[in-house]
Amino acid sequence: MENAEQQIMSLIFFIGMPGSGKSHWAKKVAAHYQLSSIDLDEYLQQHERMNIGDIFIKQGEEEFRRKENKALISIVENNRHNDAIISCGGGTPYFSNNMDILKRSGHTVYLKGNVNTLLHRLQNEIYHRPLLQKQQDLPKYLEEQLSLRRHVYEQADYILQIEDISLTNFDKIISSCISRQ
C-alpha cells in the first residue's frame, strides 16, 4: 500500500492564472527530468473532439467546468502509476472539488505572477482564451479573478514567482516529489 501511495504522489500539478506559464513550464520541466507531461486543456479537447472555445460557446462555462472535472479525474486515474507533470487550466483548482482532487493525488505547484506580467504574456494569446476574449477591461478582470482564486492557489505545496522561474527552481520540488526507487 505504501508503494501505491508513493506512485500516486508522483503526480505534480502546475496551477495558476492564465499566462503564468503552466503549460510551457510543464513541458519544459517534464522534458528536462524525463517525465510525462499532460496538459489538461489538450486532454479535454482531444476527448471532446472540440476546442475549449467551442465548448464555452456551444455548451457554456458550467458544462465546460463539469467536463474539466471529469477530465481531471480521468487523468489522475489513468496515471496513478506514472511520474507526470500536469498543467491545469487557470480556473481548474477553483471550481468543483478540483483542488481537493489535486492535493489528494499529488503535489501542487502554484506559478504565481502579478497582473502586469500576466497581461504582458497574454497580449498575443487572447484569441485562444474564451474567458478573456469578451473582457472589456482585461487588467481589471485579471485582478478580480486573481483576487477570487488567490486563497485556493495559495494552498499549493510549492509557490514559485513566475518572474524569477528557471529550471533550477524545480530541482528541489522534483526531487522531493518524485521517488525513483
Distances (CA, A) of 57 to 5, 42, 49, 51, 94: 39, 17, 14, 10, 21
pLDDT band for 5, please (50, 70, 90 cuts). Answer: very low
pLDDT tens-digit readout, 11-46: 999 999 999 999 999 999 999 999 999 999 999 999
Confidence at residue 179, expressed as pLDDT on a 0 to 100 scale: 61
d(C-alpha 127, C-alpha 140), whole Å: 18
Q: Which domains does the chain have, with CATH numbers?
A: 2-177 (3.40.50.300)
pLDDT tens-digit readout, 93-142: 999 999 999 999 999 999 999 999 999 999 877 777 777 877 889 899 99
d(C-alpha 70, C-alpha 75), whole Å: 9
Q: Please give the DSSP secondary-structure letter assigned to residue 44.
A: H
More confident residue, 67 or 6: 67
Q: Which class for 141: exposed (0-12), middle (13-18), buried (19 or more C-beta within 10 A)?
A: middle
